Amino acid sequence: MNLTVGQELPELVKHPTTRQLVQYAGAQGDFYEIHYDQAYAQSVALPGVILHGLLKAAFLGQLVTDWLGDRGNLKTFEVSYRGIDVPGRPYRCRGRVTKVDGDQVELDVWGEDPDGQRTTIGSAIVEMKS
């Protein structure tokens, strides 16, 4: 497959639920109450329970590994959380090739809420198998 700058990754849409946040809290071992206790979340000035940043990172990781398959290896993966996301709203993961240098390919990745706000932005470097 020919990779060129500007190419978009097939998008991945996730439908997080409060149940998934509880499942993720258990699987990761992150029991910070803002992810499952509505009253607690509101007491620290949040609109309600919010997605774990690292759950959004996992979604974006899947975007990259689904696209990459066994064609190469992920070398670096970086995400920055710019906004909060709440369960019940679809989370759209997108990405684009930004640089192709021999076997090394760089990507921009981001997660969008239903308003089109990029609440998570990031990048990845992959090394394609020759």
Partner 1 sequence: MSTTTSIVERLRARIGKGEPSTEATVEAGHLKRFVEAIGDPNPRWKSEAPPTFLVALVPVSMHLEEAEEYGKGWLNGGNRFEYIEPVKVGDRITATGKVADVYEKTGGSGSLLFIIFETDYVNQHGRTVARLRGTAIRR
3-state class of 14 per DSSP? strand
Cα distance between residue 26 and residue 14, in whole Å: 19
The stretch near partner 1 (CB under 8 A) out of 1-9, 46-54, 98-106, 108-116 is 46-54
Does the protein bind partner 1 through residue 74 (CB under 8 A)?
yes
Nearest residue to 48 via CA among 19, 20, 18, 26: 18
Phi, psi torsion values for 91, nearest 5 degrees? -120, 115
Tell me the number of residues near partner 1 by CB under 8 A: 36
Does the protein bind partner 1 through residue 39 (CB under 8 A)?
no
Does the protein bind partner 1 through residue 78 (CB under 8 A)?
yes
Does the protein bind partner 1 through residue 128 (CB under 8 A)?
no
Contact 104, 58 (CB under 8 A): no
Q: Which residue among 36, 59, 67, 110 contacts partner 1 (CB under 8 A)?
A: 59
Nearest residue to 124 via CA among 115, 104, 114: 104
Q: Given the rule CB under 8 A, which residues bind partner 1?
A: 14, 20, 23-24, 26-30, 32, 34, 44-46, 52-55, 57-59, 61-62, 64-66, 73-81, 122
